[in-house]
Chain A
């Protein structure tokens, strides 16, 4: 199974700050990497699919990049509504595997 390691597990940042979240795969996942946002009590919501494709309706302050085993989600200017836990998901091979999440809070 492909292991997905997310870092950091917790991040506190200020409104307006640029934030970078990381996801590392245990082997090449060929850019089949998605990012989800999950707010308390809600289902996960897709932000980015296939590394760098912004899902419909998602603000442009969210962006994704990466290749091979290393992937990044960037929030260019953190907003109060971005408080959530962020998960990555690899869809390169079965079983699909998620990262353990980064909990993002406002400082």
Chain B
């Protein structure tokens, strides 16, 4: 069974940085592309980034391109999202996902002064 556990969220000020982690288990992490998806409070879902199984390719939504970086460490079964120049509109629950089958429970990021 796919299990994904995110961590690293919190309350930060505009312009600051934060790094999210997602530890995977229950499947061969190094064989699958992984995604980050976010959901602003009481809003819909927004896909924000994908990394291939071997880190050879990365894709980003325009809303985060140039500010966020997705990465992974297959030796640690861990996915990361480094977020820089955070804005109030980045406030959301952030989910890591092995689409379409499994999602983590999410981690909240709040950007506010």
Contact count A vs B, C-beta below 8 Å:
45
Q: A22-30, A61-69, A92-100: which one contacts chain B?
A: A92-100
Residues in B neighbouring A99, C-beta threshold 8 A: 44
Asked whether A98 and B95 contact (CB < 8 A) given A43-B103, A44-B103, A55-B101, the answer is no
Among B44, B59, B95, the residue within 8 A (CB) of A94 is B59
Contacts of A46 in B (CB 8 A): 100-103
Taking CB atoms, residues of chain A closer than 8 Å to B71 are none
Q: How many positions in chain B have a CB within 8 Å of any CB in the partner chain?
A: 18
Which chain B positions have C-beta within 8 A of A55?
101
B91 to chain A, nearest CB (A): 17
In the complex, A49 has a CB within 8 A of chain B? yes
- Between A43, A89, A99, the greatest number of chain B beta carbons within 10 A of the residue's beta carbon is seen for A43
Whether B44 and A98, one on each chain, are in contact in the complex, defined by CB atoms closer than 8 angstroms, is: yes
Contacting pair B101 A49 (CB below 8 A)? yes
B44–A87 CB distance below 8 A: yes
Question: With a CB–CB cut-off of 8 A, which chain B residues contact A94?
Answer: 50, 59
Taking CB atoms, residues of chain B closer than 8 Å to A39 are: none
Place the interface of chain A in its size category: 10 to 19
Tell whether B14 is near chain A: CB-to-CB under 8 Å. Answer: no
Check B105 for interface membership: any CB of A closer than 8 A.
yes
Contacting pair A101 B44 (CB below 8 A)? yes
- Complex Cα distance, B95 from A96, in Å, reads 15
Q: Shortest CB–CB separation between residue B112 and chain A, in angstroms?
A: 21
Interface residues of A (CB under 8 A from B): 34, 42-46, 49, 55, 87, 89, 91, 94-101
Show 22 A/B contacts (Cβ-Cβ < 8 Å), sorted by A.
Answer: A34-B99, A34-B100, A43-B95, A43-B103, A43-B104, A44-B45, A44-B103, A45-B103, A46-B100, A46-B101, A49-B100, A49-B101, A87-B45, A89-B45, A89-B99, A95-B47, A95-B61, A96-B35, A97-B47, A98-B46, A100-B44, A101-B44
The 3 closest A-B pairs by CB, nearest first: A96-B47, A98-B45, A34-B100
